[in-house]
Structure 1
Amino acid sequence: MTAPLQPTAIHAVPAELCECGFRLLMIRQFNVGAVPPAFAIIDQRVMRMPQRLGRHGVSFAATFLPEVMSWLIDHLGRPSLHDETGRSYRNPRWPVVCWHDQERYWPSGAVTVEWFAEVAFQDHASWMAFRTHWQERLHGTEAGAGACAGEAEPRAQHGKEKEFADDVL
């Protein structure tokens, strides 16, 4: 039997899938009065863990894990390309990554801010190839690893496959 998820839990949570990308819980932020916020880094298997900066902060850079980066480079090319003059520009085939925050109210009375990395692929075929290859990791599992079975209290539902791409692109 799995215990209910607590505000301080760092277990992987399955990604919320949409038509052309996903939303992945990365950080849970605790605000307690005038004290600098505390952060719980959520265990997940697609993006690099955000880095802690100094005593009171977290870097909100969102980068894929090395093995995911290699897969993306093999399928979409390098994230940065060069034009005929040698000037670099963003590869238009690469997914767009941005941050989304959402308050969460827990049965214990705790209130947290959950930070999600939202990833929108530029075309459906690239997204489907990524989704198929990284399916276990998007579900918060991989060979031999168990996923967290439940949420303490469901967040507002966004629809089964919410379209993030419209907002991101």
Structure 2
Amino acid sequence: MTAPLQPTAIHAVPAELCDCGFRVLMIRQFNVGAVPPAFAIIDQRIMRMPPRLGRHGVSFAATFLPEVMSWLIDHLGRPSLHDDSGRSYRNPRWPVVCWHDRERYWPSGAVTVEWFAEVAFQDHASWMAFRTHWHDSLMGRNGDVDGSAGEAEPCDPHDAEKEFSGEALQRA
């Protein structure tokens, strides 16, 4: 039996999947009164952990782990390409990565802001190849563990929550 997840837990939570991408929980933010927020970095296996910058807080960069980057480069090419004049441009085959936040209430009365990295692939075939290869990582540390046990309900549930990839592509 799994113990209920607490607001301070950093255990992996399975990614939310959609037709052409995913959303993975990266950071849980605690706002307590008039003090700077505290952050719990979630232990997941697709994106790099946001680096801590010493006393200056946390960098909110969202990049893939080195092994995921290597796989993407092998399948989609380098993230940056060069035209005939040598100028670099974004590889249009690469997925778009952006941030999404969602407030969450916990049974204990705690309120947190959960920060997700949203990844939207440019085509269904690339997404399906990625999803197949990285399935266990998308599901958390072990694909057979239910990391959502004890998770709180979102404050404002939205029926189209998993349709975020279209919005992510529009923002890019």
TM range (shorter): over 0.9
2:58 is the counterpart of 1:58: yes
Aligned counterpart, 1:154: 153
In the TM superposition, structure 1's runs of 4+ consecutive aligned residues that sit over 4 Å from their partners are: 156-161
| 1:150 maps to amino acid | A
- CA distance, structure 2, for counterparts of residue 110 and residue 161 of structure 1: 23
| 1:41 maps to amino acid | I
Normalising by the residue count of structure 1, what TM-score does the alignment of the two structures yield? Answer: 0.92
- CA distance, structure 1, for counterparts of residue 118 and residue 37 of structure 2: 22
Percent identical pairs in the alignment equals: 80
CA contact 1:20–1:163 (8 Å) conserved in 2? no
Structure 2 gap segments, 5+ residues each? none
Alignment CA distance shift 1:138-1:80 (3 Å): same
Aligned Cα RMSD in Å? 1.8
1:62-112 Cα deviation digits (max 9, x unpaired): 000000000000000000000000000000000000000111111111110
Structure 1 gap segments, 5+ residues each? none
1:106-155 Cα deviation digits (max 9, x unpaired): 11111100000000000000000000000011011348x95535133233
Normalising by the residue count of structure 2, what TM-score does the alignment of the two structures yield? Answer: 0.91
- CA distance, structure 1, for counterparts of residue 21 and residue 140 of structure 2: 15
CA contact 2:14–2:148 (8 Å) conserved in 1? no
Larger proportion of strand? 1
- CA distance, structure 1, for counterparts of residue 18 and residue 150 of structure 2: 20
Q: How many residues align?
A: 168
